[in-house]
């Protein structure tokens, strides 16, 4: 079966979908994106992802050429065209096409690409036994320079460099610090620690993305009676935590059991983490926009 990509509202076989070499997203990282997951015929929190995409575009003064409801429909159409029930969905939007930094001198008709793939970020053993993580030397950009609430194409070069650091030492993931030395996030995930029965995660002001899965984990924890707090997190806090885990659309919820050659608690996924993972799996099985009516 052919793989289809939605390019500017038209479905094309993936091998036939082409962008201009002067697309501003390709030339300058001038665009926004979303990663979305479908589980067994439902797209998890589709409306929240679409809303975040348009907020990111608004913050960068990018005019998306279709309405949010049309974007939502195009995403579902693309998944249906590929006859998928569970997949990773990538939505990328650039400002338009033209050479030169100045948006006044380009065609500001947004380029929209929607694609689907099967994706597993980590092997199952890491979900069962936990993830070993290192601290990267590459820092997140200061929030006063690039607001982490904006999920932009150009922001992620530091995350890629940090992921390469983790790869070089055989670690599953890397934590990234901000310029103050506090933990902001992992390369593609949000960080949570548990201390004294309380769930703590870095706020956006520390450089953390307001992740959709992050918000789901916070909601689940509160529903289970676990107090939740956004606060700065140091490496000391991580080393001495009772439990820790990472969240992200691609990663879902995965335990972090070892950091910088130090076990977190007993070096095994903790009971509160396991409870949140189980509840998250229930959410993904029951929530979401139906793909096939």
Average pLDDT value for residue range 251-263: 97
Same domain, 15 and 144: no
The residues that bridge with 231 in the sheet, in sequence order, are none
Q: Which CATH number characterizes residue 245's domain? A: 3.20.10.10
pLDDT value at residue 173 = 96
Range of the domain at 198: 124-286
Residue 194 parent element (H or E): strand 190-195
- Looking at residue 120, what is its pLDDT? 77
Sheet with 42-43, side-by-side order of all strands:
10-13, 4-7, 111-117, 87-94, 31-39, 42-43, 289-290
Q: 125 pLDDT exceeds 80?
A: yes
- Bridge partners (DSSP) of residue 135 are 175
Question: What's the pLDDT at 182?
Answer: 98
pLDDT category at 52 given cuts 50, 70, 90 is very high
pLDDT per residue as tens digits for the range 22-43: 999 999 999 999 999 999 999 9
Using a pLDDT cut of 70, give the percent of the chain over it.
Answer: 100
DSSP 249-276: TTTEEEEEEEETTEESTTSS--HHHHHH
101 and 129: one domain? no
- Total of domains in the chain: 2
pLDDT digit string (tens) for 54-113?
A: 999 999 999 999 999 999 999 999 999 999 999 999 999 999 999 999 999 999 999 999
Domain boundary among 91, 117, 143: 117
Note whether 139 and 268 are same-domain residues.
Answer: yes
36 and 161: one domain? no
Check whether residue 104 and residue 170 sit in a common domain: no
For residue 293, pLDDT beyond 80:
no
- The Cα 156–Cα 177 span in angstroms is 14
**What does the pLDDT look like over 97-123, one tens digit per residue?**
999 999 999 999 999 999 999 987 788
Closest CA to 43 of 266, 251, 249, 190: 249
CA gap 237, 175 in Å, rounded? 13
Are residues 33 and 79 located together in one domain of the fold? yes
**292: number of Cβ within 10 Å:** 10
**Structural domain contains residue 292:** no
Rounded to the nearest 10 degrees, the angle between the axes of helix 271-286 and helix 212-223 is 110
pLDDT, one tens digit per residue, over 179-222 is: 999 999 999 999 999 999 999 999 999 999 999 999 999 999 99
Residue 121: predicted pLDDT: 76
Cβ atoms of 96 and 31 closer than 8 Å: no
For residue 32, the surrounding DSSP H or E stretch is strand 31-39
| Average pLDDT of span 160-185 | 97
Domain boundary among 92, 117, 142: 117
Q: Could you tell me the pTM of the whole model? A: 0.94
């Amino acid at each position: 079966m052919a793989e289809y990509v939605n390019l500017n509202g038209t479905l094309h076989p993936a091998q036939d979908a082409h962008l201009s070499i002067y697309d501003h997203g390709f030339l300058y990282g001038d665009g926004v994106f979303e990663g979305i997951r479908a589980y067994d015929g439902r797209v998890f929190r589709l409306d929240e992802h679409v809303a975040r995409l348009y907020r990111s575009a608004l913050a960068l003064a990018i005019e998306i050429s279709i309405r949010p409801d049309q974007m939502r429909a195009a995403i579902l159409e693309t998944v249906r065209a590929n006859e998928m029930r569970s997949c990773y969905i990538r939505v990328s939007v650039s400002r338009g096409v033209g050479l030169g930094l100045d948006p006044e001198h380009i065609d500001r008709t947004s380029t929209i690409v929607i694609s689907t793939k099967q994706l597993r970020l980590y092997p199952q053993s890491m979900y069962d036994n936990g993830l070993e993580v290192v601290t990267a030397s590459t820092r997140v950009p200061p929030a006063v320079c690039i607001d982490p609430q904006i999920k932009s194409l150009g922001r992620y070069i530091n995350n890629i460099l940090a992921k390469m650091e983790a790869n070089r030492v055989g670690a599953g993931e890397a934590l990234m610090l901000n310029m103050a030395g506090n933990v902001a996030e992992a390369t593609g995930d949000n960080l949570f620690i548990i201390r004294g029965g309380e769930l703590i995660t870095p706020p956006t002001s520390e450089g953390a993305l307001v992740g959709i899965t992050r918000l789901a984990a916070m909601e689940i924890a509160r529903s289970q009676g676990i107090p939740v707090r956004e606060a700065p997190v140091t490496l000391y806090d991580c080393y001495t935590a009772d439990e820790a885990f990472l969240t992200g659309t691609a990663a879902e919820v995965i335990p972090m059991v070892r950091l910088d050659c130090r076990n977190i608690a007993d070096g095994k996924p903790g009971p509160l983490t396991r409870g949140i993972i189980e509840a998250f799996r229930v959410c993904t099985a029951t929530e979401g926009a139906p793909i096939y009516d």
